[in-house]
Structure 1
Amino acid sequence: MVTDYTGGTLPHQKVVDVPGTVVSIDPSNKLNYYHWTTEGLAGIALTLHYYPDARIMLPDNVFAREALDLFDIDPGRVVWYDPKAPTRESPGAQRYRIEALMRVDWRDVPGGHVVGPVDDPWRIHQPAAAGIRLARRHLLSKVRHEAGPKVIYVSRADAGYIRVVQDEERLLRALRAIVGPGCLHVFVAEPGKKPGVDAHESKTLLEQVALFASAELVIGPHGAGLSNIMFARDGCDLVYFPTNPMVDNCFAHLAAAVNARLHPVDAVTAYYFGPYHLDDAKIQAVVDTVTRVIQSRGWTIGSVCPTNDDDDDIKDI
């Protein structure tokens, strides 16, 4: 019901009346690629599927602006909010009085505990599989399915310290040896921060969708770049470096939602805010896991991509 309640609006703040139904898309982190790609896109896809005539409330950021084009959303349907405004009294915070407000949300099924006797507090970061699949299907329909990298290593070389793989080049040499020359594509989300990697390699969401659409094997540490398994080939294998303690199961959830096979390398772990340290034994553990995947797929060790006419698209660190 519409009332004159404003929640404590300051004198200089206007309240904008919005008639009809508005669906709020509110990722837990509005400026993070994982949270937007999974939570944000899943929320948009579910809204368009179940409430095609409703208006949509979105955070005003580059991700959401790009999504308007990707989902063919009329800008006139969007109610924007400032994701950087910490409180309702903050400068730039817009106040709305909405006739009917809905929120896309997901939570544990009562009694359906998957990690123990206590509800998983990280479930807020794990969208409904139906939303992930709807978003995946829609975005893959937007790209041309051309020959691309078959094996992708997702690096966090641009991340400074947090969950960066130290001595990563040693690992990459070992991986190249077992997948074959020219077959390993090294993806860095913001490669301009890494010496020797071209800044122009930074990709839009749709470019990342196109890049991962042909991937059958993805390898890498826990980080937002792994969100792109959402767009990989059906049945993709993910060789994953977990955190310790392993509190965040978001990539296990995402893999299950998109029919990917998850292969955690238990020997290679990092504290959530620390780096991954490598030694010969840990590198061998990764190699052994990748080797098992190669053999399970019937590929040839050292020649996973026997004919690669797309070498110009392979960017190695």
Structure 2
Amino acid sequence: MNQIQAISIPKLGQQAASLYQEAQRHLQEGNSTQATLLFQEIIKLQPEFALSYQGLGDIWRSQGKLSPALRCYLKVLELQPDLISADFFLDLGREFVEKEEINEAISCYSYCLKIDPTYTKSYLNLGVMWRKKGELTKAIALYQQALALEPSLHSAYFNLGNIFLEQERLDEAIIAYLETLQIQPYFESAYQNLGQALIKKERMEEAFACAIHLLPNSLLTDFVSGVFPTTISSKFTTYKTGTYLPINLKTSVKLFPPKTYNSSFHSYFRWEVYRNPETFVTQIPSGRAWGDSYSTAVINSEGLFLDELCQGSASTLAISQKLPPATPLAGTTAFLSVRGGNTYYHWMADLLPRIKLLQLADLQLEEIDFFVVNSCHLPFQRETLNLLGIPTHKIIQNSQNPHIKTSNLVVPSLPGDVGLMSPWSSQFLRESFLEKATAQGLQTPDRIYISRRNASYRRILNEEETIARLSPYGFVPIILESLSFLEQVALFANAKAIIAPHGAGLTNTVFCNPGTRLIEIFSPDMVSVNYWVVSNIIGLDYSYLIGEDLDEYITPISIPRRYYNHPLYEDIVVNLDSLVHIMHFSGMI
């Protein structure tokens, strides 16, 4: 208790001062019972001495006796207000919330505001409590007061949206969620709840877009005041207005039909030729860039967004007046972040090949001061950047600095169409990592089944039965998260037969040898050509299987079914007889 040094012994009285010092000694020795008795004795002798109430309150609080502790702290506030801060009552209120003592939490947050009427966290927490008690009007007023003090408080808009959604005030809810996303464009729950509001308004296409973290322009023009189609278009320009270097990597890939269990191909697999688009590197003096999990944007010195270098909900970024200020970076900065750059596939397919474009533009990597990526906290991110020779001290993470500005911003184009590898980007990945992986001499199975058991979505629900059916054919189940990046590369390089549900793990098929047999499993409403394209580039023997209708799946399941708001995430049930049939048909067995 540091406050003991501030005690005035003459004012306190010799006996009370002696008791207080003795109580402190007992506390330091861990004897809270004796300290409690002494604090109570001091209060009888000197009822105006605030520190005794504080000491007693601290003991009761440590014992979980929050209500008597609160009474002590309120007495401290009455006698010596400078001893207790708004933060103190905020923390105490949270403890009451954990014990579901809502009225006491309301008291704590109310005292926060008496101490500091500008403390926005108190308004927010108090609003949450009143909402729990069903007092929605009071909660709304508190969130609005918080916004009057801090207009860029995204959580206040989000909480308002939740109340409006609960009250079926759908337009107001949508407006509140859009305000939230203009301040924090990567707020996952705002996308989800906005989607719910749109479903209620039967705007299903826009709701589906929100489920995959995209905000259609129609939402902005319909619900954001003063925003029209021309408002949005006036914020964008083309990269060709600045200094850029075209890099001619345009190629075409002939796409051979996949194998499946019948002759009727999904319409996606009727594509005959893939032509990857033009590539380039542009340099932007005094440029800015934004990157998060769902959106990226590149902005020139005039504040215009370069259309071809934006992804996701860039229009929302463009109209927002509430984004956090840009972090300044000195020197030359290469912006590499991509939509989905926190995921393995988009990191490998879309982000890393941008480094090759820098090299093709005759930019020496060692002369670049900073490389901006989505994040670098995942093992595969750190490992791949290290293998490519990019030192840690040069890495800027958008997860910590979403908005950056620099005197010389260098931005390579995307390597191709979003999510599709091209021949040159595939070759870059193979040249960068394959030899390093195979040099380790790892012994790995040549027939593998890739499990998504640890994933949060797109899992095989009858996986135990699937593995049991595959086991006699020599297939070994693999959980890729348990392997390092180079171990994954070596695993796929050594594989001769692979079976897997659609997922990021199949990114590693880019490291397979030509002729490797692959069966990719989809849910009925989620078919993707990503790995079919890779297979055609590398020369793999590609087959696919579409899973069963989940609504008809009634046999006992080894993994409980979850429900998702977009087919992209839907779980899969494998028809085991069909799987064996396609294995025979493809020559895998």
Could you state the TM-score of these two structures normalised by the residue count of structure 2?
0.39
The equivalent residue for 2:386 is: 69
- Kept after mapping to 2: 8 A contact 1:6/1:97: no
Distance in 2 separating the partners of 1:259 and 1:42: 20
- Kept after mapping to 2: 8 A contact 1:242/1:269: no
Alignment of 1:70-109 (within 5 A): 70-75=387-392, 78-82=394-398, 84=399, 92-93=401-402, 95-107=404-416
Larger C-alpha radius of gyration, 1 or 2? 2
CA change 1:10–1:102 in 2 (3 A) is: closer
The equivalent residue for 2:476 is: 185
Q: 2:435 aligns with which of 120, 141, 158?
A: 141
2:588 is aligned with 1:292: no
- Kept after mapping to 2: 8 A contact 1:41/1:132: no
Q: CA deviation at 1:263?
A: 0.1
Q: 1:170 aligns with which of 446, 465, 473?
A: 465
- Kept after mapping to 2: 8 A contact 1:234/1:258: yes
Alignment of 1:1-317 (within 5 A): 2-3=285-286, 5=301, 15-19=328-332, 22-54=333-365, 55=368, 56-61=371-376, 62=378, 63-75=380-392, 78-82=394-398, 84=399, 92-93=401-402, 95-107=404-416, 123-143=417-437, 144=439, 145-160=441-456, 162-177=457-472, 179=473, 183-190=474-481, 202-266=482-546, 271-278=567-574, 282-294=575-587, 301=589
- Kept after mapping to 1: 8 A contact 2:480/2:488: no
CA change 1:272–1:244 in 2 (3 A) is: farther
Give the aligned length. Answer: 252
Distance in 1 separating the partners of 2:359 and 2:451: 33
- Structure (1/2) with the larger helix percentage: 2
Q: CA deviation at 1:156?
A: 1.0
Q: CA deviation at 1:240?
A: 0.8
Letter aligned with residue 414 of structure 2: D
CA change 1:260–1:52 in 2 (3 A) is: farther
CA change 1:215–1:81 in 2 (3 A) is: same
- Kept after mapping to 1: 8 A contact 2:451/2:477: yes
CA change 1:24–1:268 in 2 (3 A) is: farther
1:108-151 residue CA offsets vs partner (Å, 9 max, x unmatched):
xxxxxxxxxxxxxxx41113331122112220111224442111
SS in structure 1 of the partner of residue 546 of structure 2:
coil
Distance in 2 separating the partners of 1:273 and 1:256: 25
CA change 1:49–1:139 in 2 (3 A) is: farther
Q: CA deviation at 1:13?
A: 6.0
CA change 1:227–1:269 in 2 (3 A) is: farther
Percent of counterpart pairs with the same letter? 22
SS in structure 2 of the partner of residue 163 of structure 1:
coil
- Kept after mapping to 2: 8 A contact 1:151/1:216: yes
Q: CA deviation at 1:100?
A: 4.5
CA change 1:59–1:274 in 2 (3 A) is: closer
Q: CA deviation at 1:247?
A: 5.0
Could you state the TM-score of these two structures normalised by the residue count of structure 1?
0.68
Q: CA deviation at 1:81?
A: 3.3
- Kept after mapping to 2: 8 A contact 1:46/1:131: no
Distance in 2 separating the partners of 1:32 and 1:12: 26
The equivalent residue for 1:119 is: none
Distance in 2 separating the partners of 1:221 and 1:80: 33
Distance in 1 separating the partners of 2:286 and 2:361: 27
Distance in 2 separating the partners of 1:81 and 1:72: 17
- Kept after mapping to 2: 8 A contact 1:158/1:189: no
SS in structure 2 of the partner of residue 213 of structure 1:
helix
Distance in 1 separating the partners of 2:356 and 2:406: 25
- Kept after mapping to 1: 8 A contact 2:461/2:573: yes
- Kept after mapping to 1: 8 A contact 2:461/2:571: yes
Distance in 2 separating the partners of 1:275 and 1:9: 38
Distance in 2 separating the partners of 1:149 and 1:67: 24
Q: CA deviation at 1:66?
A: 1.9
Unmatched runs of 5 consecutive residues or more in structure 1: 86-91, 108-122, 191-201, 296-300, 302-317
Q: CA deviation at 1:57?
A: 3.2
CA change 1:126–1:3 in 2 (3 A) is: closer
1:140-191 residue CA offsets vs partner (Å, 9 max, x unmatched):
111224442111101111124x2211121212122122x2xxx32211134x
The 10-residue stretch of structure 1 (94-103 or 31-40) with the greater mean CA deviation from structure 2: 94-103
Q: CA deviation at 1:50?
A: 4.7
Distance in 2 separating the partners of 1:70 and 1:3: 30
1:39-96 residue CA offsets vs partner (Å, 9 max, x unmatched):
22333344345545143433331343222321123446x35132x36xxxxxx44532
CA change 1:70–1:25 in 2 (3 A) is: same
CA change 1:49–1:2 in 2 (3 A) is: closer
Q: Over the residues paired in the alignment, what is the CA RMSD in angstroms?
A: 3.0
Letter aligned with residue 103 of structure 1: P
CA change 1:220–1:245 in 2 (3 A) is: same
